[in-house]
Amino acid sequence: MYDPLVHPFPDRKQPDPDSYWLKVSENAPDDDGAIAGDMSVDVAIIGGGYTGLSAALSLARDHGIKAIVLEARSSAWGCSGRNGSFARISGGRVPWSSLVKTYGSDVARAYFQELKQGLDTVRELIATGDIACDKQPDGVYKVATFANHAQALQREEKLYNDVLRYPARYVDAGGLRGVHEGPESHGGLYLPDGFSLNPLKLARGLHRMARSHGARIFTNSPVTDWKTQGDTHRLVTPNGTVSVKRVIVATNGYTSSQLHARLSARVLPVHSQIIVTAPMSDAQVKASLPSGDCMFDTRGLLFYYRRLPDNRMLFGGRSAISGADAAAPRHRQYLYDAMTRKFPALAGIGIEHWWGGWVAVTQNSLPFCYQVPGLGNVFTAGGYAGSGVSFSIHLGTKLAMMAAGQRFETGASFLTREPTRYPLSQFLRLGQWMAYRWLHAKDAREARKAG
């Protein structure tokens, strides 16, 4: 399997994921095929996920610039076509309390507003583009796995209310009955904004909109080499070369460490996997997730899950470390065991889909959107840490703005800084393995304490 720390780019041998979304989505939209021959363009975008497609749409629609997208495989082949489907007020993986401590309340509030705008951007896009992506009603719960996590959720409610001025609401274990069942339901934090959808249909809607405004989307066109002379970049693909003055890099967790020296080791690609069950019986629905809201838990290595419209359970989390190891059946079993521990009524249910993808985690676990220093007109965004459905689309519009010569003004000052390079990138996987061991041990300790 493609591993960004090992391989130079996703090549044609990389298969499509065994994803539920591919099964329930209509045929892929038309695209512009593979680059053939040499061409010169104003703006080229590397990567055809939400970030790249949103930048292409915004450039064409809002700035009159008809960019091209160079996608290694097919449109939304990366995270955007295979994610857990939650569009939330989220981006990165820093608890709000830590964010306030590090950056202060004003910056934290500005960041929250930027994220909120991200969700509004997606709502508006779905409405204006008339994108049929099976959008569900709003509602998100962060659910206390162990009884002693409930207090932390109550503190978080206060922070949301007092500092972020957002009406999050703590719901006690009794209030969760009929919403989230099972032995790991010890109260929850309810966030009124955020919804699930079919992520592949959303990406394909974005793709169609971008093309209808004049963007061109070239598939099976991996950038295999990148040369810069003066202010011109030459992006080499297997069957043609693109000369361009402005480049947007939207490869996020799929960024190979070999794409460009300046970009290398700025994000750690972290593998996230999902299983989807066979349809649940009515009794199983009632005993697991009667509500269709977006759910995630409070474990150190958290699980995210939802009931799909056809009453299957989608259940995701992190376990595999490298691409070479990602297909090992024990990772599938790990998710199955976690799901049936949470919802014993699902013991024995069949698994019909199992797939994974690479999310991008920066050293400070926060996203970025900046002009790359020393490379001229090169702009990039990413680092959503597995929480990028809405924010990647939002930052795509900011990349378009920057490539069109405007500034991205934001009170969340950290967003526009180049992420620190990971030190000793050859030891990244070892560090990650040790972090997972530590988090598993912590979760196991808490489980034992909880009895």
Ligand X SMILES: Cc1cc2nc3c(=O)[nH]c(=O)nc-3n(C[C@H](O)[C@H](O)[C@H](O)COP(=O)(O)OP(=O)(O)OC[C@H]3O[C@@H](n4cnc5c(N)ncnc54)[C@H](O)[C@@H]3O)c2cc1C
52 lines the binding site for ligand X (CB under 6 A): yes
284 in helix, strand or coil? helix
Q: Which of 25, 58, 83, 136 binds ligand X (CB under 6 A)?
A: 83
**DSSP result, 318-337:** ----STTTTT-HHHHHHHHH
Place of tokens 């979760």: 443
Cβ neighbors of 244 (< 8 A, separation 6 or more) are: 40, 41, 42, 43, 44, 232, 233, 235
86 lines the binding site for ligand X (CB under 6 A): yes
Stretch that binds ligand X, among 85-93, 120-128, 343-351, 441-449 (CB under 6 A): 85-93
Q: Which of 25, 51, 220, 319 binds ligand X (CB under 6 A)?
A: 51
Residues between 300 and 339 with contacts to ligand X, criterion CB under 6 A = 304, 316
Stretch that binds ligand X, among 102-110, 252-260, 419-427, 433-441 (CB under 6 A): 252-260
Quote the CA–CA distance of 234 and 384 in Å, as a whole number.
28
47 lines the binding site for ligand X (CB under 6 A): yes
Q: For residues 140 and 191, is the Cβ–Cβ distance under 8 A?
A: yes
- Go through 195-224 and write b for each residue having 16 or more CB atoms within 10 A of its CB, e for each that does not: bbbbbbbbbbbbbbbbbebebbbbbbbbbb
User: At its nearest, how many Å lie between ligand X and the CB of residue 303?
Assistant: 11
Q: At what angle do helices 96-103 and 150-162 cross, to 10 degrees?
A: 50
> Please, which residues bridge with residue 225 across strands?
236
Q: Which of 48, 118, 182, 292 binds ligand X (CB under 6 A)?
A: 48
Q: How big is the chain by its Cα radius of gyration, in Å?
A: 21
User: At its nearest, how many Å lie between ligand X and the CB of residue 449?
Assistant: 29
Nearer to ligand X, 2 or 150 (CB): 2
Q: Which of 21, 50, 103, 370 binds ligand X (CB under 6 A)?
A: 50
Residues between 356 and 415 with contacts to ligand X, criterion CB under 6 A = 356-357, 359, 382, 384, 386-389, 392
Nearer to ligand X, 150 or 195 (CB): 195
User: At its nearest, how many Å lie between ligand X and the CB of residue 448?
Assistant: 29
Q: Which of 35, 57, 68, 80 binds ligand X (CB under 6 A)?
A: 80
User: At its nearest, how many Å lie between ligand X and the CB of residue 90?
Assistant: 6
Nearer to ligand X, 280 or 326 (CB): 326
Tell me, what DSSP letter sits at residue 253? Answer: G
Q: For residues 447 and 144, is the Cβ–Cβ distance under 8 A?
A: no
Binding-residue pattern over the window 259 to 278 for ligand X, x denoting contact by CB under 6 A: x------------x-x----
Binding-residue pattern over the window 162 to 201 for ligand X, x denoting contact by CB under 6 A: ----------------------------------------
User: At its nearest, how many Å lie between ligand X and the CB of residue 212?
Assistant: 19
Q: For residues 328 and 243, is the Cβ–Cβ distance under 8 A?
A: no
Q: Which of 58, 219, 252, 298 binds ligand X (CB under 6 A)?
A: 252
Q: Which of 9, 166, 305, 368 binds ligand X (CB under 6 A)?
A: 9
Instruction: Count CB neighbours of 155 within 10 A.
Output: 12
Q: Which of 43, 55, 67, 70 binds ligand X (CB under 6 A)?
A: 70
Helices (H), 270-363: 282-287, 329-342
User: At its nearest, how many Å lie between ligand X and the CB of residue 218?
Assistant: 9
77 lines the binding site for ligand X (CB under 6 A): yes
Tell me, what DSSP letter sits at residue 372? Answer: P
CA distances from 370 to 112, 158, 341, 387 (A): 19, 33, 43, 19
Instruction: Count CB neighbours of 249 within 10 A.
Output: 26
β-bridge pairing 37-46 and 313-317: unpaired
Which chain residues interact with ligand X by CB under 6 A? Answer: 9-10, 46-52, 70-73, 77-80, 82-86, 88, 90, 222-223, 250-254, 256, 259, 272, 274, 304, 316, 356-357, 359, 382, 384, 386-389, 392
